[in-house]
A and B are shown apart, each in its own frame.
Chain A
Amino acid sequence: MTLDFILSHMNYWLFIVLMMTGFYIVVSRGNYVKKIVGLNIFQVSVFMFYISVGKVTGGTAPIYPIDLKVDPDVLYSNPLPHVLILTAIVVGVATTALGLALIVRIREEYGTIEEEDILEIEREMQREENAEHGSAMGGRA
């Protein structure tokens, strides 16, 4: 691995570090709101990764002059990743809104938004159900 290779790929690795931080928050934290925050960090890092794919050194934003007289010497960055990520950002905020609405309902029904507590409540419900219905089959759920 030459220094040149490292420098020209470092950007990607940096974004991967960010992505994995976000991903780790999602899978390791038990607070439902924090999970959503982690998911957002994960996604935003993926978006940054995408955008860095489209960057051209010395390029500029892909917007032509208003009279559409394109100067052939000007380098423009790749517009396609921008379009994809615009769509992905919107999808991301839609998911966030829905996830948060679910959290509000969960809080109203369970009285908590901590995974551990909720699992405990659900285990309790399961035990009650088994006690009520279970004798017939003798199995466990």
Chain B
Amino acid sequence: MDVLINLILFIMMVTTAFAILRMRRLFAVVMLFGVFSLLSALLFVTLDAVDVAFTEAAVGAGISTVLLLGTMALTSREEKMPRKFSPIPLLVVVVTGAVLVYGTLDMPNFGSADSPAQTHVAAEYLKRTPKDTGVPNVVTAILASYRGYDTFGEVVVVFTAAIGVLMLIGGFARRRDPQEEAD
């Protein structure tokens, strides 16, 4: 059952991704990206990652889409006709994909409970969280305590992004528009 749901979600996502690749109307591209994010959020739910699903839905389908639309409104709505086909990007992508597939050959089976990823540190987290922190949501416990320093870094990254956006378009930089100047 799970496999079937995953497969359907996957087919929908690939369709969306290819549509994004082909479409030239940026509005459609952005909307489809929102759809892609929502689909991936659904997939996260089937994979038991509810926290991640929540975040992806809020960020991918919410914030990112709004930002993309905002940028579109400030720039343009249409992608120019694609330039001539060049084989180099395709080559890079195929080689990368081949290395990835090569790497999967020795991977533990999907969903297996005795793979190293499940048994080493992760099992320890699941075991210790109730008595160490008393927080039922293990994800929160790891996020804020065991690996709290990563989360601190994450907050600083968001902070950096805000500083960066302010420096770039926060009203401090000059506004100039070549087209308006030409008019």
Q: Do the two shown chains form a genuine complex with each other? A: yes
* B86 close to A94 (CB less than 8 A): no
A83 and B48 within 8 A (CB): no
Q: Is the CB–CB distance between B52 and A47 below 8 Å?
A: yes
The answer to whether B49 and A33 touch across the interface, beta carbons within 8 angstroms, is: no
Question: B71 contacts A68, CB within 8 Å?
Answer: no
Report chain A residues within 8 Å CB of B96.
20, 23
CA–CA, A111 to B68, complex, Å? 18
Overall SS of chain B's interface: helix
How many A-B Cβ pairs are below 8 Å?
282
Asked whether B178 is an interface residue with its Cβ less than 8 Å from the other chain, the reply is yes
Q: A86-B52, A109-B176 are in contact. Are A94 and B160 (CB under 8 A)?
A: yes
Query: Which residues of B are in contact with A by a Cβ distance under 8 Å?
Result: 3, 6-7, 10, 13-14, 17-18, 20-21, 26, 29-30, 33, 36-37, 40, 43-44, 47-52, 55-56, 59-60, 63-64, 67-68, 70-72, 74-76, 79-80, 82-83, 86, 89-90, 92-94, 96-97, 100-101, 104-105, 107, 109-113, 117-118, 121-122, 125-126, 129-130, 134, 136-139, 142-143, 147, 150-151, 153-154, 157-158, 160-161, 164-165, 168-169, 173, 175-179
14 extra interface residue pairs, beta carbon distance < 8 Å, beyond A63-B136, A78-B118, A83-B143: A11-B110, A18-B10, A20-B96, A44-B36, A51-B52, A65-B136, A77-B47, A79-B138, A82-B49, A82-B51, A83-B150, A87-B143, A104-B74, A105-B168
